[in-house]
Amino acid sequence: MLGALRAAGLRLTPQRSAICQALAGNKQHPTAQALFEQLRVDHPTLSRATVYNTLNTLVDAGLLLELASAGNGNAHFDPDVSPHVHLVCVQCEQIEDVEDRALAGLARRVAQHSGYELRNAGLAYYGVCPRCQKANGRGQR
């Protein structure tokens, strides 16, 4: 990630490095706003524009996946750019990766049959997560 920023002509400031570190291995699929708030704790001078610009540069470089809105109009970001499928809760907007061998097999078969070198997948299942279902049930009783 850091190399891509340098290649894009961005200086490697401690703030940009911190953004990359916060993204590496991040499974939360955070929004830009969530990252900004998380990083601002240790980097009080960090600006929202720096976060957005850095994220856009990483997306353009193909090192970060921008996921469509989970319901509130905000893009979510995923450092895992391999083809994979998402589970999206329309209530709390949490996004999880779906680990499923059949789906991995499907991506392989699609690549084989089409001759495509797959870059990513836009497949997502939308629903209500178990935690929200529980919370809903409690509210109704």
The binding site for Zn ion (CB under 5 A) comprises 78, 80, 89, 91-92, 97, 129, 132
Element (H, E) at 86: strand 85-89
Nearest-approach distance from CB 117 to Zn ion, in angstroms: 19
Nearest-approach distance from CB 125 to Zn ion, in angstroms: 12
Residue with Cβ nearer Zn ion (47 or 136): 136
Residue 99, classified by CB atoms within 10 Å of its CB into exposed (0-12), middle (13-18) or buried (19+), is: exposed
Residue with Cβ nearer Zn ion (66 or 80): 80
Is the separation of the CB atoms in 58 and 14 below 8 Å? no
Residue with Cβ nearer Zn ion (46 or 67): 67
Nearest-approach distance from CB 111 to Zn ion, in angstroms: 18
If DSSP codes are grouped into helix, strand and coil, which group holds residue 78?
Answer: strand
What is the maximum span of the chain, computed from C-alpha positions, in angstroms? 57
